[in-house]
Amino acid sequence: MKIVLNRKYNLSVGSHTLRRLMAANNLQSAIRRKRRKSIRQIGLEKLTADNILKRDFFAPLPGRKYVTDITYIPIRNSMVYFSVILDLFNGEIVSHKISRSADAALSTDVVSNLALKRDLEGAVLHSDQGVHYTNKAYQSLLKEKGIIASMSRKGNCWDNAMAENFFSHYKCECIRLCKKSLYSFESVVEVTEEYLNFYNKERYQSRLKNMSPIDYRLQNFKN
């Protein structure tokens, strides 16, 4: 506003005077909200790992090979972030987090939650080289749980194709179909939780002998 007054009307007005005059005339200035610092802006040390998985997406046993990734869902003027861990044995989503913020907890919480349910010692967890996975907090957590870190080559999405494939199904079968009703964070959480329940329990897959991920695991490992 000060610049407009100065350039258009050759008027020089102090900030305090301008605020007082605007308040007296019930005028408000549009102020951009401060962006929350994302993990990318913090300037953390980047810790990478070798590509141990090497596109070998076959796992003979549950809980030995996992992939993880993060996607986002736009809603009105904001984003919802969705993080998952997928077991390569049967494609089951074994841990997930839905958040309003793209902070470090998106990657660490899914690991911590999975560790409460499964023994992760010696398991491989593959990710891309995104900042959520190359930060010290995430890498330290993997070491603490005895997890072997594996990372895609830089800029190569095919190295994490199974996670990408799941998100493709999720967006096609869930988000696009429900797009008109996704107006809030809570609405995204609701449809996502419903889809995960469907995907793990009822979505039959030819590669799993026409069984759902959970049915396939139970059929092969009843104990």
HSE of 139, CA atoms in CB hemisphere, 13 A: 17
Measured CA to CA, the distance from residue 113 to residue 208 in angstroms comes to 26
Residues 6+ away with beta carbon under 8 Å from 21:
13
- Among 100, 61, 59, 113, smallest CA distance to 189 is for 100
Task: Write down all domains in the chain, each with its CATH number in brackets.
Answer: 1-31 (no CATH), 45-220 (3.30.420.10)
Alpha-carbon gap, residue 101 to 85, rounded angstroms = 18
Q: What is the pTM of this model?
A: 0.80
SS3 (DSSP) at 44:
coil
Q: Do residues 46 and 29 touch, judged by C-beta distance below 8 A? A: no
Instruction: Give the pLDDT confidence of 27-78 residue by residue, as tens digits.
Output: 544 333 343 444 454 455 789 999 999 999 999 999 999 999 999 999 988 9
